[in-house]
Amino acid sequence: MRKIAILIFIIFCSCNKEKMKVITKEQPKEIPEEVPYFKQIKSNDIKLAEPVYGDWLFSRKEKGQTFEQYFRSKHTVPTKDANIIYIRPIGNFNVLQKRQIQLANEYLEIYFQLKTKTLEPISNDVVPNSARRMMYSHEQLLAGYLLNDVLKEEEHLNRIALMGLSELDLYPKPEWNYVFGLASYRDKVGVSSIYRLQDGELTSENFNLCLSRLLKISSHEIGHMFGLHHCTNANCVMNGTNSMEETDRHSIRLCSVCQRKLNSCIAYDNKKRLIDLEKYFKKNDLNDEFDLMKKDIKVIQ
């Protein structure tokens, strides 16, 4: 029986620590007082449902990460020399797919309150035949080749994170059917595929569902690059997930604890970010997501 790839990015960390270049800061020991904003939006946190067979937490007993643990950890933070998130499309994208990438760029810039830039697409031809295969009548690319031999070699001005978005399906090794993506969190580089987010084909009818999935996955993975662990506090975009169905059930919203972590890392205006997200969701007819932001705005006013 073939192994089924789970909806996570497999972390590949180099054993040679001298080659790891990580932007970190030493956190002071004193934990800052929780500001009213996080206490107020906590009322909108939704408790995680009891995991059932097939769910991420059913077979993984994660302890989660408290704010105190995050605050005292070493993690990447923006600096004047590293403050831009880059997206690198890989492949040939149709009009609807290009629109999704554009909207993902807009979203990530609002979500992290950091400049986000989409680079020019590169051809699938960068991957040699030895790192491609046919699986069930469609082509797949070896995720590790894209990560290590393509993306890690790229250097961009003021880069803090780089996310590749592949048009084609990905696989991590011969015995696996597929993987949604692969990342090196230490190097702040990852690659994800949009292939399985589209339910076979991206259309105007499933556009918003597929966009929501892309926004969840991209913000989740880049969140890891800023040191956020999987959330066990509430229904949250940082929850671990085992399947597309579980991803669809999870919220696009960061819970109050994870918002506090991110804000301690990236010093943005919480209210402005919330209003920007509300406007984004309204403009793009993401109604459920809009309602979540509207509820948070209501409790902070």
CA distance 278 to 187: 32
How far is the CA of 12 from the CAs of 9, 144, 184, 291, in angstroms?
9, 9, 5, 37
Q: Which of 106, 175, 221, 278 is catalytic?
A: 221
CA distance 189 to 282: 31
| Bridge partners, residue 104, by sequence | none
Residue found by looking up tokens 């991209």 in the block: 218
| CA dihedral over 13, 17, 23, 24, signed as positive or negative | positive
Is 167 one of the annotated active-site residues of the chain? no
Helix axes 207-225, 95-112, angle to 10 degrees: 40
Q: What is the dihedral of CA 89, 91, 96, 101, to 10 degrees?
A: -10
Backbone angles phi, psi at 273, to 5 degrees: -60, -45
Three-state DSSP string of 198-255: CCCCCCCCCHHHHHHHHHHHHHHHHHHHCCCCCCCCCCCCCCCCCCHHHHHHCCCCCC
In this structure, what token pair is assigned to residue 9?
């990015």
Instruction: List % helix, strand, coil for the chain (3-state, nearest 5).
Output: 40, 15, 45
Question: Which residues have a catalytic role annotated?
Answer: 221
